[in-house]
């Protein structure tokens, strides 16, 4: 006879945190969000810990090398998507690992034969006012000039005017040579009153851009997640099909932590993948996703360094709708956290768990941590930012960014869902969509982190471990959910100002 779970499958929105005593020491500035990401023995320290409990999802629309650098700079980790060629993913890992703080790979590039109209369109799409002009229009082509807002006037210049006619040519640029230190680059910027310093190699091919505005930014990132060589810690996603080819390439590229990307991780496929990695490489690997005690223990016993929790809760995931498989994220997390704690008591080995999916509001992150998650993984949250790899578009009067699931026809990531059948997607388990554009990662992440720290103070906790131990959590009724928002008032229009 089938086993029935008669308790409803619950989501984060069905719970609230009940305040504990807020002592005078409970100030957000005293809260630390440092958290383990890989397993460790009692009394020892984990090989890797996050400075903030955030990871970005293994998705084409979210995690590339640029996101990996941006998130590591803030103290989290990005898992570069694996639904691409082995060579492409390894190149992204290599680029993120070799990134030097303050040295930016140019994301806005044109050729001299482009026009002012092309410059304006590129600026509208990317928000970048500095455009590198290279021989082939790539980020590493021979540098021929630079275009900034000071090089043209829209009111007087024709939109068809060629870039070669108004760019600042290379011979008039102040530039640095490959190998220059950040300190030396900043000295050139300040000495010559520059906003941007290009760095070129011996053949004058563009390597990086160094911006004046980034000087203060790097001073303001004390939480950067660095390895022993002072490079950013970088993660990468793998699947259970081509791992014998993909894993060696990713390890050679410098990936610090791997994770098996799958909608359902409770499988012999994942067991074989974990065992292969552990037998051949000195690299950490997470597994999942699971929703119960049995799935957690199966993957831990296979050798996984952390476990991802959640099936069907992602904003673009339709696995539950298509297959009837999954479980409410809160219910999944509560059971797996209990299994993790029991396993720790029995073995002295602590296996971190990652809550993946089901997060709609910032307070859901704090709830996930209180319920036992060591860190969270999010896709929609990070897809909204400048640093995600997707296009920024204007739909109606609003700016949006593209966002699609790995189970959508657009991603074609059949390896994530394969169970040994035909190679290909027979039906979709994800959708293709837009998310509202939100600006820069750092600005939004800072606000979210402050909310989490403030809530932890309300709960009388200064660390995630204290929150997990002392949190008081209550179920809420449908009526109290309505009560929790603005009600029985006429809201003012957001456009109203004091002018």
The dihedral formed by the CA atoms of 47, 53, 56 and 57, expressed in degrees to the nearest 10 = 90
- DSSP-assigned letter for residue 104: B
The encoded tokens of residue 95 equal 């680029």
Backbone angles phi, psi at 69, to 5 degrees: -70, -45
Q: Which residues lie across from 472 on neighbouring strands?
A: 18
111: Cβ contacts below 8 Å, ≥ 6 apart? 133, 134, 135, 136, 137, 144, 163
- Which run of H or E residues covers position 5? none
Instruction: Measure the CA–CA gap between 468 and 119, rounded to whole angstroms.
Output: 51
End-to-end CA, the chain? 69
**DSSP 8-class letter at 233:** P
Q: Indicate the helix (H) or strand (E) that contains 236.
A: strand 235-238
Show the beta-strand stretches assigned E in 264-388: 284-290, 306-309, 349-350, 353-356, 375-378
403 bridge partner residues: 433
Tell me whether residue 246 is one of the annotated catalytic residues: no
Catalytic residue among 26, 317, 354, 459: 317
Residue 459 catalytic?
no
Spatial contact of 249 and 77, defined as CB atoms under 8 Å apart: no
The CA distance from 269 to 266, in Å, is: 9
* CA proximity to 119, closest of 79, 167, 73: 167
C-alpha span between 215 and 133 (Å, rounded)? 24
Q: Which of 73, 416, 457, 459 is catalytic?
A: 416
Strand-pairing partners, residue 285, are 258
Half-sphere exposure for 340 (CA within 13 Å, toward CB): 28
List Cα–Cα distances, 312 to 29, 83, 376, 430, in angstroms. Answer: 36, 19, 15, 10
Apex 15 CA angle, 300 and 329, nearest 5: 35
Q: Which residues of 94-110 are buried (b: 16+ CB within 10 A; e: fewer)?
A: bbbbebbbbbbebbbbb
Q: CA-CA distance, 138 to 148, in Å (whole number)?
A: 17
182-214 burial, b if ≥16 CB within 10 A, otherwise e?
Answer: eeebbebbeeeebebbbbbeeebbbbbbbbeeb
Element at 16 (helix H, strand E): strand 15-18
Q: Any idea which residues carry the catalytic annotation?
A: 317, 416
């Amino acid at each position: 006879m089938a086993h029935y779970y008669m308790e409803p499958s619950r989501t984060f929105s069905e719970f609230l945190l009940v305040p504990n005593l807020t002592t005078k020491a409970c100030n957000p500035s005293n809260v630390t969000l440092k958290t383990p990401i890989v397993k460790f023995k009692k009394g020892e320290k984990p090989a890797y810990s996050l400075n903030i409990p955030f990871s970005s999802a293994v998705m084409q629309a979210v995690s590339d090398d640029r996101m990996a650098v941006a998130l590591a700079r803030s103290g989290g980790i990005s898992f570069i998507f694996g639904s691409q060629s082995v060579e492409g993913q390894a190149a992204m890992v290599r680029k993120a690992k070799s990134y030097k703080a303050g040295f930016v790979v140019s994301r806005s590039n044109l050729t001299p034969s482009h026009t002012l109209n092309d410059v304006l369109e590129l600026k509208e799409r990317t928000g970048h006012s500095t455009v590198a002009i290279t021989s082939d229009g790539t980020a590493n082509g021979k540098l021929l000039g630079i275009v900034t807002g000071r090089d043209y006037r829209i009111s007087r210049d024709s939109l068809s005017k060629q870039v070669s006619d108004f760019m600042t040519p290379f011979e008039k640029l102040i530039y640095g040579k490959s190998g220059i230190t950040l300190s030396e680059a900043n000295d050139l910027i300040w000495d010559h009153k520059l906003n941007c310093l290009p760095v070129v190699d011996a053949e004058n091919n563009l390597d990086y851009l160094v911006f004046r505005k980034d000087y203060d930014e790097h001073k303001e990132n004390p939480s950067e997640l660095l390895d022993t060589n002072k490079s950013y810690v970088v993660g990468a996603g793998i699947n259970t099909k081509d791992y014998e080819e993909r894993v060696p390439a990713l390890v050679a590229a410098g990936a610090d932590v791997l994770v098996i990307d799958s909608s359902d991780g409770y499988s012999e496929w994942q067991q074989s993948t974990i065992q292969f990695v552990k037998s051949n490489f000195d690299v950490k690997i997470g597994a999942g996703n699971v929703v119960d005690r049995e799935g957690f223990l199966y993957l831990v016993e296979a050798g996984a360094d952390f476990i991802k929790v959640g099936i069907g809760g992602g904003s673009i995931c339709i696995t539950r709708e298509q297959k009837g498989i999954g479980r409410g994220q809160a219910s999944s997390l509560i059971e797996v956290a209990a299994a993790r704690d029991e396993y720790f008591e029995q073995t002295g080995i602590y296996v971190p768990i990652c809550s993946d999916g089901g997060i709609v509001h910032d307070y859901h992150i704090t709830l996930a941590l209180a319920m036992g998650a060591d860190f969270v993984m999010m896709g929609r949250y990070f897809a909204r930012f400048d640093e995600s790899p997707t296009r920024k578009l204007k739909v109606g009067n609003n700016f949006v960014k593209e966002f699609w699931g790995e189970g959508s026809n657009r991603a074609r990531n059949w390896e994530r869902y394969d169970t040994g059948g035909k190679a290909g997607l027979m039906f979709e388990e994800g959708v293709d969509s837009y998310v509202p554009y939100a600006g820069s990662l750092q600005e939004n992440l800072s606000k979210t982190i402050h909310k989490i720290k403030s809530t932890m103070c309300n709960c009388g906790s200064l660390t995630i471990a204290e929150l997990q131990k002392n949190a008081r959590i209550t179920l809420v009724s449908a009526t109290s959910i309505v009560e929790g928002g603005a009600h029985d008032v006429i809201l003012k229009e957001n456009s109203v100002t004091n002018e």
